[in-house]
Amino acid sequence: MIKSELITRLALANPHLYQRDIERIVNTVFDEISDALGRGDRVELRGFGAFSVKSRPARQGRNPRTGQTVSVAAKRVPFFKTGKELRERLNSKSD
């Protein structure tokens, strides 16, 4: 599912709301999560999961085309850990 499909589904489930308002809400939620991660904060959505930032140390990599060793700089990457309720829902036998 892409963002526009999410917005359409939310609009169908909430006919009393305008689609443009739902789009603003979805964009605001994503912006707030991105801003929090940019500050290094953790964003926890109970039952769904938690977004956080992990640091990856600098390392030596290899160019797959040439085989030459290259330096890969340290970086911060987003990380998502699923919540218990989401994990249970995904692994339920009622498919």
CATH number, residue 46: 4.10.520.10
Would you say residue 25 lies in a domain? yes
Residue-wise burial string across 64-95, b where 16 or more C-beta atoms lie within 10 A, e elsewhere: eeeeeeeeeeeeeeeeeeeeeeeeeeeeeeee
How many beta carbons lie within 10 A of that of residue 36, not counting itself? 15
Domain tally for the chain?
1
For the entire predicted model, the pTM comes to: 0.79
pLDDT at 75 over 60: yes
Would you say residue 89 lies in a domain? no
Determine the longest span between alpha carbons in the chain, in angstroms. 59
Report the percent of the chain where pLDDT is more than 70. 98
> Mean pLDDT of all residues in the chain?
95
Would you say residue 16 lies in a domain? yes
Band (pLDDT 50/70/90 cuts) for residue 95 is: low
Would you say residue 91 lies in a domain? no
Q: Mind listing the pLDDT tens digit for each residue in 5-46?
A: 999 999 999 999 999 999 999 999 999 999 999 999 999 999
Q: Which residue range forms the structural domain that includes residue 33?
A: 3-56+64-84
The distance in angstroms from the start CA to the end CA of the chain is 19
Would you say residue 14 lies in a domain? yes
